[in-house]
Structure 1
Amino acid sequence: MTSMVELIRAVVRRELAALRPPALGVVTGVHPHSGDGDEFNDEVDVRLQHEGLTLARVPVAVAQPGTVAPLKNGDLVLVQFLAGSLAQPLVTACFHHADDRPPLHAEGDLVIEHRVPGDDTRNQLRFAADGTIRIDRDLGANGTAKASVVLTKDGDVEVTCGTLRVKGNVVVEEDGDLTVSKGVFRASDGGKTTEISGTTITGKPGGPSA
């Protein structure tokens, strides 16, 4: 009886040893679904840490179908194995680390940051803890951006950019004001232009210069 128990234990130990536990890995290649003719579904190649074994075209878990948040080379990920099988790996999570830290944020902030591959460009969508919503294009280390849109907690909308172009109608209602604090207000229609600068109103033929 004792020998039978030991045999069963040995079989169990052998079977458990054959099961692959979860492992950390580093992304070494990405396969985005970039064209109708490809067979990729945003899989990645992963090199398992401490083993040197590379797994090709590993499926990546997403929050829901239709969501795209591609990983990039160098990302640290968690690889789990369906039924403990090396033949069925899945990337189920990714992590920040010392060389790829999270964006700066206050407690309660929700931040989505797109880190453009190949350079240091960072585009950011931030839902602040106080209710402010902010979009920044090419956010620099000093906190400034090439363009930004801010929806304040009080309901104001602030746009900061080089040039703002509106293709369509702009309507000011409810006894609102249109204020130009600096520069020239210029309106053009039918080849004629009206300019307001300070207390001077000028009308002249020709459209505004580009």
Structure 2
Amino acid sequence: MIEVIKKIVEDEIKKMHIAELGVVTSIFPHSSESDGDNYECNVRLKYRDLELRRVPVATQHIGLANIPNVGDLVLVTFLNGDVNAPIVIGRLYTDEDRPPVNKEEEIVYIPPYSKSSSLRRIYLEFPGGIIFSITDDEVSIKAGRTILKIDRNGDISIESNAKVNVKANQDISLSANNISIESRGKLEIKSGATAKLEASGTLDIKGALVNIN
């Protein structure tokens, strides 16, 4: 009797699917507001002649999205051992797709992608309206009516329809080949101590009325 029960248990265990390796064949990330995709992918099991369709992909946090790529090696688990209830729970490196060089206590992100200006590589949007975005061409931060951009050549631009204040309790130094300051209204420069205006070449002071006191 015990042997019969043991055999039944063994047969039932064989029917259960705990975890499998698979290769992603198609992805359905939810790339448009109008689509019905819900962060899923098709996976071909590595050691079985079986392709699983529309497998949900687990996420580390609701609101975070980073869908696997076609060709990625993934780990698939099955709810209650049911092959009809798979979930992708992680990705794995292979001998061909190795991790970037990294050390203990480092967080390194070097994606193996080709350049594409249309993709947001990293995009963060917070409830207060602050947006942080990285593309292959620029880094941008938007807060309210102000946008800071740094392009891939290192050029920096700040555009604002709000107030901009620069304040330091120590020194501020500006150095460049040429510096231009233009005001559409009032321009005021004031010193609480001494002030010096000097030019190695010609110094022009022009105005409808110039007062020197």
TM-score by length of 2: 0.64
**Could you tell me which amino acid in structure 2 is paired with residue 188 of structure 1?**
E
Aligned in 2, Cα 1:162/1:99: closer, same or farther, shift over 3 Å? Answer: farther
**2:78 is the alignment partner of 1:84:** no
In structure 2, distance between residues paired with 1:25 and 1:109? 28
Structure 2 counterpart of 1:184, which letter?
Answer: N
**Measured at CA, do residues 37 and 182 of structure 1 come closer, stay the same or move farther in structure 2, by a change above 3 Å?**
closer
1:13 aligned residue: 10
What corresponds to 1:67 in structure 2? 64
Mapping of residues 1-210 of structure 1, within 5 Å: 4-113=1-110, 115=111, 119-120=114-115, 138=136, 161-167=154-160, 168-190=162-184, 199=200
Quote the Cα distance in structure 2 between the aligned partners of 1:185 and 1:199: 15
| Percent sequence identity over aligned pairs | 31
Letter in 2 for 1:172: V
- Residue 189 to residue 20, structure 1, CA distance change in 2 (3 Å): same
**Deviation by residue 1:23-68 (Cα, 9 ceiling, x = unmatched):** 1111111101233443221101111112242111101111122221
Task: Give the counterpart letter for 2:165 in structure 1.
Answer: V
| 8 A Cα contact 1:59 1:90, kept in partner | yes
Flag the structure with higher strand content.
1
Contact 1:30 1:45 in 2 (8 A): yes
Structure 1 counterpart of 2:175, which letter?
Answer: S
What is the rounded CA distance, in whole Å, between the counterparts of 1:104 and 1:18 in structure 2? Answer: 41
Consecutive unaligned residues in structure 1, runs of 5 or more:
126-134, 139-145, 150-158, 205-210
Stretches of structure 2 lacking an aligned partner (at least 5 in a row): 124-132, 141-149, 186-196, 207-213
Larger Rg: 2
SS in 2 for 1:41: coil
Residue 147 (structure 2) aligns with: none
Q: 2:36 and 2:122 mapped to 1: Cα distance?
A: 30
Superposition CA RMSD, Å? 3.8
Aligned residue-pair number: 173
Q: What secondary structure does 1:189 align onto?
A: coil
Q: 1:17/1:51 Cα in 2 relative to 1: closer, same or farther (>3 Å)?
A: same
